[in-house]
Amino acid sequence: MSGDVTLDPAGAAASVDDLVDYKGSWLGSDVMMTNSWLRAVFVVLYAAIFVVGLSGNSLVVYVVSRNTAMRTITNIFIANLAVSDIMMCLLAVPFTPAAVMLQSWPFGEVMCHVMPMALGVSVHVSTLTSIAIAVDRYCVIVHPFRPRMKTNVCLLVIAAVWLTSLSISMPLAIYQEVCRCRLHSAI
């Protein structure tokens, strides 16, 4: 869907498939785009989220992988959640606000395909891993005398979670496109 979208002075899009409304509000609000102090606050908050999210989740993965006593089934699932959150921190936190503030996608065609899929994978992994934790806790509470899930089974569940998440999110990578739009200001 590459093409030009031209806007008339009244703000109505000239093309049938309206990709961008008047003033580009599909990428961000006008208030954020005009107030430089508000943009600075968002940059600082996103930077803090990035640093805390990346360091905290990396620490969780490190502790669970290095300390044998911490390698319980629940902690392995929590480490998997942390890996998913690291992926979210590395992809969503830097690229999304940059695209909003620049009001364009300067990261190229490949990242246009990879980023939405990776974000979808991260969300699905988090959701499916939370379900796996809930099922594990249910089995432990309701059937306390049955043996717990083995580590090998836990790792198979995690592999299934990732494969399922990849297959659910694959259409995002296949069908995502960069739209080259040119807006004509009414001013």
- Over residues 82-108, the pLDDT tens digits come to 999 999 999 888 888 888 787 777 888
Q: What is the pLDDT of residues 27-86, one digit of tens each?
A: 445 666 677 888 888 889 999 999 999 999 999 999 999 999 999 999 999 999 999 999
Nearest to 157 by CA among 72, 73, 62, 64: 73
Residue 37: the pLDDT is: 84
Could you tell me if residue 103 is left (phi over 0), alpha (psi between -120 and 50 degrees) or otherwise beta?
Answer: left
Phi and psi of 13, rounded to 5°?
Answer: -75, 145
Q: Say how far apart CA 110 and CA 108 lie, in whole Å.
A: 6
CATH for 22-175, options being 1.20.1070.10, 1.10.260.40, 3.90.110.10, 3.40.50.300? 1.20.1070.10
Q: Which helix (H) or strand (E) holds 46?
A: helix 36-66
Residue 33: the pLDDT is: 64
pTM: 0.75
Q: Say how far apart CA 140 and CA 56 lie, in whole Å.
A: 28
Q: What is the pLDDT of residues 122-161, one digit of tens each?
A: 999 999 999 999 999 999 999 999 999 999 999 999 999 9
Interval 8-13 mean pLDDT: 43
Q: Say how far apart CA 148 and CA 8 lie, in whole Å.
A: 65
